[in-house]
Amino acid sequence: MSRVFNFSPGPSMLPEPVLRKAQQEMLEYGTCGMSVMEMSHRGKDFMAIATKTEADLRALMGVPENYKVLFLQGGATSQFAMVPINLLRGKTKACYVQTGLWSEKAVAEAKRFAEVGIAASSKEGNYMSIPRRTDWVVDPDAAYLHYTSNETIGGVEFQEIPDAAGLPLVCDMSSNILSRAIDVSRFAVIYAGAQKNLGPAGITVVIVREDLLGQALAHTPSLFDYRVQADQGSMLNTPPTYNWYLLGLVLEWIKEQGGVASIEQRNIRKASRLYDAIDASDFYSNPVAPEARSRMNVPFRLREASLEKPFAQEAREAGLVTLEGHRSVGGLRASIYNAMPEAGVDALIAFMADFERRHG
Ligand SMILES: Cc1ncc(COP(=O)(O)O)c(C=O)c1O
Give yes or no for residue 193 CB within 6 A of ligand 1: yes
Distances (CA, A) of 312 to 101, 153, 277, 330, 351: 23, 17, 17, 12, 11
Q: If pLDDT is split at 50, 70 and 90, which confidence band does 3 have?
A: very high
Q: Tell me the pLDDT tens digit for each residue of 189-209.
A: 999 999 999 999 999 999 999
Give yes or no for residue 102 CB within 6 A of ligand 1: yes
Residue 65, exposed/middle/buried by CB under 10 A (0-12, 13-18, 19+)?
exposed
Active site residue ranges: 102, 172, 196
Q: Which domains does the chain have, with CATH numbers?
A: 16-256 (3.40.640.10), 259-359 (3.90.1150.10)
Whole-model pTM: value is 0.98
Give yes or no for residue 199 CB within 6 A of ligand 1: no
User: Residue 282 has what DSSP assignment?
Assistant: S
Give yes or no for residue 299 CB within 6 A of ligand 1: no
Among residues 339, 332, 326, 336, the alpha carbon closest in space to that of 100 is found at 326
User: Residue 216 has what DSSP assignment?
Assistant: P
pLDDT above 90 (res 137): yes
Tell me if residue 202 falls in helix, strand or coil: coil
Distance 75 CA to ligand 1 centre (A): 7
Tell me if residue 209 falls in helix, strand or coil: strand
What does the pLDDT average to over 180-188? 98
* Closest-lying ligand 1 atom to the alpha carbon of residue 148: 1
Q: If pLDDT is split at 50, 70 and 90, which confidence band does 128 have?
A: very high
Distance, in Å, from the CA atom of 311 to the CA atom of 314, rounded to the nearest integer, reads: 5
User: Residue 330 has what DSSP assignment?
Assistant: -
Give yes or no for residue 77 CB within 6 A of ligand 1: yes
Distance 175 CA to ligand 1 centre (A): 7
* Closest-lying ligand 1 atom to the alpha carbon of residue 201: 10
Give yes or no for residue 157 CB within 6 A of ligand 1: no
- Looking at ligand 1, which residue's alpha carbon is closest to its atom 10? 75
Nearest 5°: the CA angle 63, 293, 138 is: 65
* Closest-lying ligand 1 atom to the alpha carbon of residue 79: 11
Give the residue, out of 101, 157, 175, 337, with the most ligand 1 atoms within 8 A of its beta carbon, to mutate for a pocket test.
175
pLDDT the model gives residue 360: 82
Q: Tell me the pLDDT tens digit for each residue of 241-271.
A: 999 999 999 999 999 999 999 999 999 999 9
